[in-house]
Chains A and B, each alone.
Chain A
Amino acid sequence: MAELTRLTLAEARDGLRGKKFSAREIADAHLSAIEKARVLNAYILETPDRARAMAADSDARIAKGEAGPLEGIPLGIKDLFATEGVRTTACSKILGNFIPPYESSVTANLWRDGAVLLGKLNNDEFAMGSSNDTSCFGPVQNPWRRRGSNAPLVPGGSSGGSATAVAAHLCLGATGTDTGGSIRQPAAFTGTVGIKPTYGRCSRWGVVAFASSLDQAGPFTRTVRDAAILLRSMSGHDPKDSTSVDVGVPDFETAVGKSIKGRKIGIPKEYRVPNMPTEIEKLWLQGAEWLKAAGAELVDISLPHTKYALPAYYIVAPAEASSNLARYDGVRYGLREDGANIVGMYEKTRSAGFGPEVQRRVLIGTYVLSAGYYDAYYLRAQKVRTLIKRDFETVFADGVDAILTPATPSSAFAIGEKAGADPVEMYLNDIFTVTVNMAGLPGISVPGGLDEHGLPLGLQLIGRPFDEETLFSTAEVIERAAGRMKLPEPWW
């Protein structure tokens, strides 16, 4: 039943409702695909028993005519989401064998709507990374390879397991989280669709915190329509997250296929960065042409503070991480290393439990928040953030409906290629995505084409707050014009 893994989420939903196949069959097809794909290291925990039990419940509900919007749809869950009774580690040694006694709000919404848990997906440790190299479970392989080469490539990060699982047909959709680009960059690297919704759209409750003012959950899928379906179920106001916004959740799927005639699409000149590969520049122009052909009006815009978003991010995000990660002290859960006294115990536990990138960011964050440096770093960064947000507000006030940019400055690179001396080189991966987190806006990455090595490239659309619908309509125009991405055939 391998073909069941080739369905889109929408096709599977309709087929399940029409009783063409059962939830149990579709779960089994995915479980066997996952087993064969272990070399990719996308799943760090497979939950076949739970998947089969949930699928059986789905079949019972379908039989009774009580199917939910995602009834019987098998999903992979990034290991940042707490899943009750199922090990959750954020891919850090410091969480060890943590078994949450509670369920994150986002995943609870998915199970409420009938979805089935296949397992937990690999990510960069505490979502800090752009290559999935920092996971304590080891790197994830991208199912894509350069034409004529067997060199393993990264799937991007931090949601690398989610991106690979969706691209390799190991689930019909996956959850991710995006703090600086962790959904959109891996989606671009794997030829999949990923959306980071508006800050406050999805509850952060039960999601392992990295940088609370930037973190937002979102879906990975193989089509724009599937992303709209999955995001609707993930979204919704949650009193347990004080930054969750109390607004209605539209039926995003109805936006897919809507005309974009007369819509104003902004092309920001600041995203034309030095040394941009010509293929990315070409794809960007091509994307603009596709939108124009669909009746959109293209306008040149300026977002003057763009270049400061990434350095400001590397103050704000580590600062928030250093306080969020203070909770890992060896007392209440996770790893403990004994020391001569309680401070020794804390210091040894955190040194043994956190990997090098996490330690580096906690130290940077501690420094920028420490006495005498707060104003020079953190306060200034938060002011720059106001200016970045104001740039966007100005163009939206001028009537721009959405902004088109490249998703990443390159296609997928080799595992280990950027793990060298300079951490800033890795940080530059997020140059086009991070502004969106700083301003709290929605952003979607949609496949646009292939580069000269045969690797996928993505286009990003940025929207007004709580206007994900325009992003879905516009992204679908690109998807239709580019043609559905033909994903790699299994070599694994």
Chain B
Amino acid sequence: MSVDAADVRRIAHLARISLDESRVEPMRGEINGILGWIEQLEEVKVEGVEPMTSVTPMKLPMRKDEVTDGGYADKVLANAPNADDNFFLVPKVVE
């Protein structure tokens, strides 16, 4: 499988990374180089093999559904590029 310029633009938009037009072609080449190399996995017989879902054989631990943390909005907001009155500020998203 390989990607074309339109795929690269679509992937970049899905990943929310703006890509100058001048970078599309080099990126297409690099991605296709990597995908071509990955293709060797098609030689592996994987029929009937379970995909790995947990590195160590363990059940994810459960805990009681209760509030265990919080109450420090100032700390949460301390690194925000733009914040006001305990809110993160972003460009307008609704008219």
Residues of chain A touching chain B, judged by Cβ–Cβ distance below 8 Å, are 98-99, 101, 198-200, 213, 239, 242-243, 245, 305, 307-308, 311-312, 314-315, 322, 326, 329-336, 338-339, 341-348, 350-351, 354, 359-360, 362-364, 366-367, 370, 373, 376-377, 379-387, 389, 422-424, 439-440, 465
Contact = CB atoms under 8 A, between A and B. Distances in A.
Contacts of A315: 38, 41
Interface in B30-68: 30-31, 33-35, 37-38, 40-44, 46, 49-53, 55-56, 58, 60-61, 63
Contact of A333 (B15, B58, B79): B79
B11 to A, nearest CB: 5
B6 interface: no
Given A199-B55, A386-B50, A424-B33, A362 B15 contact: yes
B30 A376 contact: no
B82 to A, nearest CB: 7
B20 to A, nearest CB: 8
Given A213-B55, A243-B55, A343 B16 contact: yes
Contacts, number: 158
- List 10 A-B pairs, minimum CB-CB distance, nearest first: A382-B51, A333-B79, A440-B55, A347-B18, A336-B81, A383-B46, A366-B15, A101-B75, A346-B16, A351-B18
A332 B42 CA distance: 41
Given A101-B75, A239-B63, 17 more contacts: A200-B56, A243-B56, A311-B37, A312-B41, A331-B81, A332-B80, A332-B88, A335-B81, A339-B91, A342-B92, A359-B17, A362-B15, A363-B8, A363-B12, A367-B3, A383-B46, A440-B55
A364 to B, nearest CB: 6
15 contacts: A99-B79, A239-B61, A311-B38, A315-B41, A341-B91, A341-B92, A342-B90, A346-B16, A350-B15, A360-B34, A381-B41, A386-B50, A387-B46, A424-B33, A440-B55
Looking at A343, A367, A384, the one whose CB has the most chain B CB atoms below 10 A away is: A367
A389 B55 CA distance: 9
Given A342-B93, A351-B18, A311 B41 contact: yes
A200 B56 CA distance: 8
Interface in B1-34: 1, 3, 7-8, 11-19, 27, 30-31, 33-34
Given A347-B17, A376-B1, A311 B33 contact: no
B25 to A, nearest CB: 13
Interface residues of B, number: 51
Q: Name B's interface SS.
A: loop
B31 A363 contact: yes
B88 A331 contact: yes
A343 B30 CA distance: 26
A338 B34 CA distance: 32
A181 B33 CA distance: 22
Nearest to A381: B41
B91 A242 contact: no
B90 A423 contact: no
B80 A331 contact: yes
Looking at A329, A347, A373, the one whose CB has the most chain B CB atoms below 10 A away is: A347
A464 B34 CA distance: 32
A360 B30 contact: yes
Nearest to A373: B1
A334 B78 contact: no
A380 B49 CA distance: 9
A245 B11 contact: no
Given A199-B55, A351-B19, A364-B34, A383 B81 contact: no
B17 A354 contact: yes
Given A348-B18, A423-B33, A424-B34, A101 B78 contact: yes
A315 B1 CA distance: 14
B90 A331 contact: yes
B60 A242 contact: yes
A442 B27 CA distance: 35
A334 B36 CA distance: 35
B81 A308 contact: no
Contact of B49 (A243, A346, A387, A424): A387
Contacts of B11: 363, 366-367, 370
Contact of B38 (A314, A344, A360): A314
A245 B55 CA distance: 11
Contacts of A344: 18, 91
A41 B79 CA distance: 26
Nearest to B80: A332
A364 B93 CA distance: 29
Contacts of B42: 380
Given A101-B75, A243-B56, A379 B51 contact: yes
A308 B63 contact: no
Contacts of B44: 305, 308, 380, 383-384, 387
Contact of B79 (A334, A350, A385): A334
B69 to A, nearest CB: 10
A386 B47 CA distance: 12
